[in-house]
Chain A
Amino acid sequence: MTESTYRIQGATGEWEVVIGLEVHAQVTSQAKLFSGAATAFGAEPNTQVSLIDAAMPGMLPVPNRECIRQAVRTGMAINAQINKWSRFDRKNYFYADLPQGYQISQLYHPLVGEGEIEIVLDEKNPGSSTKTIGIERIHVEQDAGKLMHDQHPTRSYVDLNRSGVALMEIVSRPDMRSPAEAGAYLSKLRTILRYVGSCDGNMDQGSMRADVNVSVRRPGEEFGTRTETKNVNSVRFVMAVVEHEANRQVDVLEAGGKVVQETRLYDPDRNETRSMRSKEDAHDYRYFPDPDLLPLELDDAFLDECRQSLPELPDAKRRRYEEQLGLSAYNAATLTADAETARWFEALLAEGARIQKKGDGDVAKASANWLLSELYGALNRLGKSLEDSPVSPQAGAELLALVADGTISGTIAKQVFEIMLETGDSAPTIVEEKGLKQTSDTGAIEAAVAKVLADNGDKVEQYKAGKEALFGFFVGQTMKAMQGKANPQVVNELVRRALS
């Protein structure tokens, strides 16, 4: 654990920022938290609404076991206490997007208790320093519907598709001290949720949104008064909110004012927050246990199933990549930063090991380097992601196998890869058809070396006089003469012999 050194330099001295996040994550589930209605994103308005979601008279909620299961698995993934006895409460308020007139949530007895998440402070240097952010609780609750004010000049429309969708509210401790830490926490949380499969983490679709609590204080002093900025929907925006809000509070305090405890909204277009409502006009939600629902009691068999269904989590995977596969800390961190990359990498690894008849560790480095440089570079260029990569892990593994067994050089491999991207053909086919196999024919290479040395007599003199760096020049010229198809090791060997 490292103390943050992030400070805001005010006119009157240094200020420390204190941040806590409440993240709403939509639970991945076919059905809503208390009804059987579907949850797919982007459906026509009001086509995924059951009688329960519309709060028709006499309708009753029935908990969806899958939503509970996903929240429990999420809790386990952050080493949290799972409460075998929890209960749902009603949060009462009137709004047009809330058909029941109350949201079913968990105030008094949440499903998941204390847990923690480890974040890396310097992303470029993953091994350097880490910090543990406490999680206070995770509770499950219903999402509200959506109001649309732009469909008609004088009317508002209500879309209840989202009404009743299951959310996990993941509440952190006020343990973060800089915009970077807040960003790292949210990214890491998102990574974990995607590994677990309990939330797709699509912040642009609203599947994950953060309420950002910010306060400032003199280093070492008591916490200051906090503000809460609602519904921030990207990592970048969270960091911007922290920075903007902390500076605003410092300005207020240094001008002799007081920070008002209030709810604020972030305007990404202007990069500023503005007041929504203060504590004084906060709702009285009149929470009380929902009498339509019995307490939620979980048995050991259910918890065991949840635990056993958890995948290898990012921290464990990263350690394994470093320790067992021998990857660099940076590569291990990058490959495990999201579940899809790790899945792709492991498929590549498995294929490579199979084709080359080697162990995972033997093909890991080459696979990691190729994925992170060649494949990522290509995908960036094409504006694609791993999910829609034109090259499959199997095709990639075939290409790497050709390099590994000396059939083609690394240089040729790059050319082959470009052709693969264009045509979708396999690497062996391309190498065969285009005659790109590298040669180890010493006779041909020797002739090329002899010609290079003869053409560059001056450089040979310099080399012999001690300018050994020219060795690479001779190798390069030979490779060029061989059109890249010469086995580099053989070229090296023959150049060395010719010069000795």
Chain B
Amino acid sequence: MTNLTDLTVAEIRDGFRAGDFSAREVAEAFNANVAAAKALNAFIVETPEKALEAADAADRAKAAGETLGALAGVPIGMKDLFCTEGVQTTAASHMLEGFTPTYESTVSKKLWDAGAGMLGKLNLDQFAMGSSNETSYFGNVISPWRRGGGDNAALAPGGSSGGSSSAIAARLCPAATGTDTGGSIRQPAAFTGISGIKPTYGRCSRWGIVAFASSLDQAGPMARTVRDNAILLETMSGFDPKDSTSLDLPVPQWEANLSSDLKGKKVGIPKEYRPDGLNAEIAALWDRGIEWLKDAGAEVVEVSLPHTKYALPTYYIIAPAEASSNLARYDGVRYGQRDLPDGAGLQDMYAATRALGFGPEVKRRIMIGTYVLSAGFYDAYYTQAQKVRALISRDFEQAFDKVDLLLTPTAPSASFTLGEKQADPLAMYLNDVFTVPASLAGLPAMAVPGGLDSQGLPLGLQIIGKPMDEQSVLNAGLAIEERAGFTARPEKWW
């Protein structure tokens, strides 16, 4: 019999409809894998009963001949940044430990309404701030991957959607939600040999997602195949009147229109993404990616995105600025942690609560954000950063006058050892160097696995597209997927 947990979303969906297996069998198989993978620490809360409940509903609907939802019979993981009604939602923080929303985020509701079941709430970097999952209050997620040659060092699954990436790579779930503010879907996908797409800003409603940086936060799917990403994204997207920044556009049929034939497409290679000292293996993979796209019929040309080098500093002004304000609501007054020392007044309670509830990286970003917005520094930092952000967007617009897509590496390196970069925040921030520009410009961007490095760790390629043109991004991703033939999977050690 097929190992159900090796199946893709499309295979589960189609197999369930064809009667090859029941939804309950699928849910039970994944529940078992989740239960057996505590060592990965991918989940903050496991919800096997939710997965079974949805599976049973799907089985009943199928038996009754009812119309099945797009994701009927498919269990998924939910990043613990999405508020889920009746299920603890923490953003991997102590601050929200024990917080149980009375409401369901728009994106998760769409998924449940389409018949998906929830395997659990996935671990992440605290408030989605981090690139290695080491900032989670609930302990870091461990990547299922290990370097070859008996090196058993625990590796980072990437971040912030590290629970999602680790769980998918380890076959704990066929797909999961992620959120991406500066690379939080794409970098972990690259680190774990899976795919993930951050759609155009505004495609997925932000309503009910714990906010990090509002002008950058965007939900998206993560899965093992491009097709699976297309399937999930179709369900997750759509206009939401409850989110003022939501795009009021119909959702395209991305899956039905998937095509790896790139004839007539022009792909740009931004020269600024090839700095001196770029990891040779990354550079080599990039070159292979270029060949694959040419092979698929695309014309490849060099382009320039001159302001790329300012993207990272710009991002690390804007994102913390917004975060410092977005996280002000965690004050101990209405929900979450409260620390009220004896004799404390209101201000003392704020200070004690926030000292207790936030981890060091969150505090660092709140302080950076507070600083750049404060009187006397606002123009030099925030205003300037907004100007540069506009220039970065213009770089992309000008490039997209000439080309349809851009191809870059996803991250500057493969996964690193946990603890390796923790002492140096700047080294950690550099992980986002290739993903941040598309976030600042609100563009759709996708990570697809391209191969393994010499240590046996996955490396990813990034495709960036024009606003609203997720289809071309997915199609190019599919072309790479078909040619890369990435079938490597982590050897089970957990």
CA distance A386 to B140 in the complex (A): 70
Q: Is A59 an interface residue (CB 8 A)?
A: yes
Question: Are A94 and B105 closer than 8 Å at their CB atoms?
Answer: no
Partner of A62, one of B213, B241, B322: B241
Question: Are B101 and A288 closer than 8 Å at their CB atoms?
Answer: no
Chain A nearest CB, measured from B351 CB (Å): 10
Chain A nearest CB, measured from B154 CB (Å): 30
Question: Are B346 and A99 closer than 8 Å at their CB atoms?
Answer: no
CA distance A460 to B213 in the complex (A): 99
Question: Are A288 and B328 closer than 8 Å at their CB atoms?
Answer: no
Question: Are B328 and A284 closer than 8 Å at their CB atoms?
Answer: no
Chain A nearest CB, measured from B75 CB (Å): 23
Question: Are A57 and B241 closer than 8 Å at their CB atoms?
Answer: no
Partner of A286, one of B208, B214, B370: B370
Question: Are A60 and B207 closer than 8 Å at their CB atoms?
Answer: yes
Q: Which residue among A101, A290, A293 has the maximum number of chain B CB atoms within 10 Å of its CB?
A: A101
Q: Is A61 an interface residue (CB 8 A)?
A: yes
Question: Are A99 and B329 closer than 8 Å at their CB atoms?
Answer: yes
Question: Are B370 and A57 closer than 8 Å at their CB atoms?
Answer: no
CA distance A101 to B331 in the complex (A): 8
* CB within 8 Å for A96 and B325 given contacts A56-B103, A58-B83, A294-B244: no
Chain A nearest CB, measured from B316 CB (Å): 16
Question: Are B322 and A60 closer than 8 Å at their CB atoms?
Answer: no
Chain B nearest CB, measured from A88 CB (Å): 10
Partner of A96, one of B82, B242, B346: B346
* CB within 8 Å for A94 and B347 given contacts A57-B210, A292-B245: yes
| Residues of chain B from 145 to 177 with CB closer than 8 A to chain A in the complex | none
CA distance A194 to B372 in the complex (A): 42
Q: Is A55 an interface residue (CB 8 A)?
A: yes
Partner of A60, one of B91, B242, B335, B373: B242
Q: Is A90 an interface residue (CB 8 A)?
A: yes
Question: Are A288 and B373 closer than 8 Å at their CB atoms?
Answer: yes
Question: Are A61 and B105 closer than 8 Å at their CB atoms?
Answer: no
Question: Are B333 and A96 closer than 8 Å at their CB atoms?
Answer: yes
* CB within 8 Å for A62 and B242 given contacts A94-B350, A102-B328: yes
Question: Are A62 and B103 closer than 8 Å at their CB atoms?
Answer: no
CA distance A56 to B208 in the complex (A): 9
Q: Which residue among A57, A95, A286 has the maximum number of chain B CB atoms within 10 Å of its CB?
A: A57
Question: Are A101 and B243 closer than 8 Å at their CB atoms?
Answer: no
Contact indicator per residue, chain A 257-293, by CB within 8 Å of chain B (1) or not (0):
0000000000000000000000000001011101111
| Residues of chain B from 203 to 250 with CB closer than 8 A to chain A in the complex | 206-211, 213-215, 241-245
Question: Are A294 and B373 closer than 8 Å at their CB atoms?
Answer: no
Contact indicator per residue, chain A 151-184, by CB within 8 Å of chain B (1) or not (0):
0000010100000000000000000000000000
Q: Is B315 an interface residue (CB 8 A)?
A: no
Q: Is B96 an interface residue (CB 8 A)?
A: yes
| Residues of chain A from 188 to 233 with CB closer than 8 A to chain B in the complex | none
Q: Is A404 an interface residue (CB 8 A)?
A: no
Q: Is A413 an interface residue (CB 8 A)?
A: no
Residue of chain B at shortest CB distance from A62 = B244
* CB within 8 Å for A58 and B242 given contacts A288-B382, A291-B322: no
Chain B nearest CB, measured from A357 CB (Å): 54
| Residues of chain B from 339 to 358 with CB closer than 8 A to chain A in the complex | 346-347, 350
| Residues of chain B from 84 to 141 with CB closer than 8 A to chain A in the complex | 89, 91, 96, 99, 101-103, 105
Question: Are B214 and A99 closer than 8 Å at their CB atoms?
Answer: no
Q: Is A100 an interface residue (CB 8 A)?
A: yes
Q: Is A328 an interface residue (CB 8 A)?
A: no
Range for the number of chain A residues in contact with chain B:
20 to 34
Residue of chain A at shortest CB distance from B329 = A55
CA distance A102 to B375 in the complex (A): 16
Measured between beta carbons, the chain B residues less than 8 angstroms from A55 are 329, 334
Q: Chain A at the B interface: mostly helix, strand, loop or mixed?
A: loop
Contact indicator per residue, chain B 355-398, by CB within 8 Å of chain A (1) or not (0):
00000000000000010011100100010000000000000000
Q: Is A470 an interface residue (CB 8 A)?
A: no
Partner of B373, one of A63, A92, A156: A92
Measured between beta carbons, the chain A residues less than 8 angstroms from B324 are 92, 286
Contact indicator per residue, chain B 319-337, by CB within 8 Å of chain A (1) or not (0):
0011011011101011100
CA distance A288 to B213 in the complex (A): 13
CA distance A330 to B364 in the complex (A): 66
* CB within 8 Å for A284 and B210 given contacts A57-B99, A292-B245: no
Q: Is A51 an interface residue (CB 8 A)?
A: yes
Measured between beta carbons, the chain A residues less than 8 angstroms from B378 are 286-288
Chain B nearest CB, measured from A168 CB (Å): 20
Question: Are B243 and A60 closer than 8 Å at their CB atoms?
Answer: yes
Q: Is A372 an interface residue (CB 8 A)?
A: no
Measured between beta carbons, the chain A residues less than 8 angstroms from B334 are 54-56, 99
Measured between beta carbons, the chain A residues less than 8 angstroms from B373 are 92, 286-288
Contact indicator per residue, chain A 31-55, by CB within 8 Å of chain B (1) or not (0):
0000000000000000000010011
CA distance A156 to B335 in the complex (A): 16
CA distance A294 to B246 in the complex (A): 10
CA distance A288 to B105 in the complex (A): 26
CA distance A398 to B214 in the complex (A): 64
Partner of B244, one of A61, A96, A99, A288: A61
Measured between beta carbons, the chain A residues less than 8 angstroms from B82 are 58
Question: Are B244 and A57 closer than 8 Å at their CB atoms?
Answer: no
Question: Are B206 and A284 closer than 8 Å at their CB atoms?
Answer: no
Question: Are B243 and A57 closer than 8 Å at their CB atoms?
Answer: no
Partner of B207, one of A59, A100, A101, A290: A59
Question: Are B91 and A102 closer than 8 Å at their CB atoms?
Answer: no
Measured between beta carbons, the chain B residues less than 8 angstroms from A288 are 321, 325, 373, 378, 382
CA distance A91 to B242 in the complex (A): 22
* CB within 8 Å for A284 and B346 given contacts A58-B209, A101-B329: no
Measured between beta carbons, the chain A residues less than 8 angstroms from B209 are 58
Question: Are A286 and B333 closer than 8 Å at their CB atoms?
Answer: no
* A interface residues (Cβ-Cβ under 8 A, vs B): 51, 54-63, 90, 92, 94-96, 99-102, 156, 158, 284, 286-288, 290-294
List 12 A-B pairs, Cβ < 8 Å.
A58-B101, A58-B206, A62-B244, A92-B324, A96-B346, A101-B325, A286-B324, A286-B375, A287-B373, A288-B321, A288-B378, A294-B245
In the A-B complex, the 3 residue pairs with the smallest Cβ-Cβ separation, listed nearest first, are A101-B328, A291-B214, A286-B373
* B interface residues (Cβ-Cβ under 8 A, vs A): 82-83, 89, 91, 96, 99, 101-103, 105, 206-211, 213-215, 241-245, 321-322, 324-325, 327-329, 331, 333-335, 346-347, 350, 370, 373-375, 378, 382
- Apart from A56-B103, A57-B83, A100-B329: 10 A-B pairs, beta carbons within 8 A: A57-B101, A58-B105, A58-B207, A59-B207, A59-B208, A62-B241, A90-B325, A101-B329, A102-B325, A102-B328
